[in-house]
Amino acid sequence: MNKAFRGWGHQFLYNRQTLTEVLIEAGFGTIETVAYGESRHPALRNLERHETYIDTPETPHIIVLEASGRSDGPSCRLKEPRADFEEAVGIQPPS
């Protein structure tokens, strides 16, 4: 899917699981899914500027996550998504 969307100028399309794993690997320990325009933190409310469509819970067109704290270590579930991304943007794997 990412390969097809690269033709439209997108770099990478994340699903909730892959974005969560990337945030864990980046060092965040707590990741929460929040609704568009929502947050427990007043300063983070209504920041999104994407167009809105009628979504279904199974297929949202915008995923909003809030990340905080520190993780215990890197995620080990990113091998395949990372390989897809690197191939899509032309990064050669180390030999």
DSSP letter string over 47-66? ---S------TTS-SS-EEE
Provide the pLDDT confidence category of residue 32 given band limits of 50, 70 and 90. very high
Average pLDDT over residues 71-95: 72
94, part of any domain: no
79 domain-assigned: yes
pLDDT(43) > 80 = yes
Is residue 95 one of the residues assigned to a domain? no
User: Among 26-40, 60-74, 78-92, whose mean pLDDT is lowest?
Assistant: 78-92
Query: Which residue matches tokens 């390969």?
Result: 3
62 touches 37 (CB < 8 A):
no
Classify residue 74: in a domain, yes or no: yes
Residue 36 domain-assigned (yes or no): yes
Name the β-bridge partners of 34. 64
Q: How confident is the model at residue 75 (pLDDT cuts 50, 70, 90)?
A: low
Is the pLDDT confidence value at 66 over 70? yes
Beta-bridge mates of residue 67? 31
Residue 49: predicted pLDDT: 75
The total domain count for the chain is 1
Range(s) of the domain holding residue 43: 2-89
Mean pLDDT, range 38-51, rounded to an integer: 84
